Structure 1
């Protein structure tokens, strides 16, 4: 289970351009083998409101190519199925008058190509459930499962009753759909994406610039919601609309690295861009805050109070603090004390940074030491003012 309350890493995609700058992203998928992003947009014109545009981006956000999908609905989610015979997309199809899908299609990805997602002569159409509405699908690349969502009525997701099914991906590609599990979803929030990983279904909700982005976690076995986390990452975006949730792996087959990535669309029509962030990998230890004298020191921001985490025999230390009285730091001043589990067996010498106050035309590096008693001490004979800190790692043994 992903620790949804953990701090996230906001640097996966930052203001990445998509093929069309005129519409927001709707969904995304990370393909770990080729290290590529697939980001889906609605690509509508006055005469065609059911087109989708899938942009393919390199890991750094550089636009590689794209593909246009005709009669493909809203693009509420997207899945990528990579095999020896190429890349296939799982996407919307059989669009109703409401512009939402009633079936899903498995479409071969053709760089800069065009495909009709609702044409049974050219794509494989599937209806795992009949008599349902607003269907969509994605892929769990770790479990190799197709995840299929459907609603009992053609209404907004915030007023719907939905079912989410799991199917074996290889069998689904052959048109065989035998559910491995099903959960029911009822919510008063706007759906913006979903993903499955490690026995749990994760769902992204929220609206543009509403500060109401949430990710919930549902146990596939019990059907119970076991997590509901408010997401504040990238809160400075001007038109922050949550769009897309997917599994993120550093490398294919590396299940230990699998976590969740989620996206935000931003910008005005004509200048739309895309952002993506991820949660720490499940095996990453949580940061632990360290007590300090709040009458003497203040952190730079909410992200920089003194804190540490353990990774085997290594300690990661992270802080940025200022003196409240504005006076210079004293050579040999103890800033705070680490608890016993994070103390080294010999003094560790570290190099940090200083804000620049009082060091004009001089180095902005500053020396710290971590003693065997856990004291984090600053050593510098200059009359330094402003904040000091850094991101350090040292061995306990």
Structure 2
């Protein structure tokens, strides 16, 4: 798909195409977290139709940018619709090779999660203490735990450290912005979904102070994941291909300004449009040579052998 976008001189230096642009991006430290992603820019494939540890639909993605790994969440094999809240966590190389897995029993649905690198290891931030509505399970707290290949955790495991930054919140998930080391938490406040953003260090210290707290816009469609970068949060919505959703599908990315609560851009994504099934699932921020990528996950394949693909955008405005 070709996009016709008006680009300023400043924006041209950020396009991420060509040697000069790549060098400019590499020289720009990710911690600056300047600008926002151009959602109408084309997407590039990172991994294409890769198997995860279990065969169920991909739910969400996150990146260990220090150690060069991708993590994914999905409903555990044999857990049906996910009402029990049992999840499979896969660790992948950047080319999609399976490097390990964990099982998380009773945690929730896995809509989104975060990765906190620690030396050569990684700590995962996920929902936990899932509550079932008979069809699916949704977490009521956040949990931090170290990735240990082959380990199975329950909600009472001593390996977990639990957090609840907002006492009366429900349906709680999180993502980590690697450019600012902030934790973005999506939660239900009784009347709608909101995003609260904290310093990750403050959350870990037990003294979370919200830097931002804004409402999620209404009418976005079926929610499938989110990612935070700088002053913006990006929301993924849409459903799998079907009779009522033929190609190119109803996958959209929406950008929300965390400072004002304003929806600043919304655009259809046709990334991976040739996939069968093609269900949007999860977002994440990858950092490559200091340059950020806005990534989205797509599930494909037949019900008993689902596959995962990831695409990314690099253009900032």
Question: TM-score, structure 2 length as denominator?
Answer: 0.81
Counterpart-to-counterpart distance in 2, 1:134 and 1:87: 24
- Which residue of the partner structure matches residue 239 of structure 2? 207
Q: Report what 1:280 is aligned to.
A: 314
Residue 304 (structure 1) aligns with:
none
How far 1:215 moved relative to its partner?
0.4
Local SS of the residue matching 1:135: strand
**Aligned equivalent of 1:174, options 201, 205, 215:** 205
Which digits, 9 at most, give the CA deviation of each residue in 1:178-200, with x for residues without a partner? 10111101323111111111211
Closer, same or farther: CA 46–244 of 1 in aligned 2, 3 Å: closer
Q: Where do 1:1-397 residues align within 5 Å?
A: 1-9=36-44, 11-21=45-55, 23-43=56-76, 45=78, 49-84=84-119, 86-98=121-133, 99-116=137-154, 118-119=155-156, 121-153=158-190, 161-188=192-219, 189-209=221-241, 210=245, 211-251=249-289, 254=290, 257-282=291-316
Partners in 2 of 1:13 and 1:249 — Cα distance?
Answer: 16
What SS class does the counterpart of residue 186 from structure 1 fall into? coil
Query: What is residue 331 of structure 1 aligned with on the other side?
Result: none
How many angstroms does 1:103 deviate by? Answer: 0.7
Following the alignment from structure 1 to structure 2, what is the Cα–Cα distance between the partners of residues 186 and 152? 14
Q: Distance in 2 between matches of 1:143 and 1:123?
A: 24
Structure 1 residue ranges without an equivalent (≥5): 154-159, 284-397
Query: Is contact 2:103-2:153 (8 Å) kept?
Result: yes
- Alignment match, 1:340: none
> Tell me, what secondary structure is at the counterpart of 2:203?
helix
- Matched positions, count: 270
User: For 2:66 and 2:101, how far apart are their aligned partners in 1?
Assistant: 18
Q: Residue 146 of structure 1: CA displacement?
A: 0.6
Bigger relative CO (Cα 8 Å, ≥ 6 apart): 2
> Cα offset for 1:208?
0.8
Could you say if the C-alpha distance between residues 44 and 73 of structure 1 is closer, same or farther in structure 2, counting changes exceeding 3 Å? farther
State the Cα RMSD in Å: 1.7
**Equivalent position of 2:20 in the other structure:** none
* 1:189-222 Cα distance to aligned partner (Å, 9 max, x none): 1111111112111111111113110000011111
TM-score by length of 1: 0.65
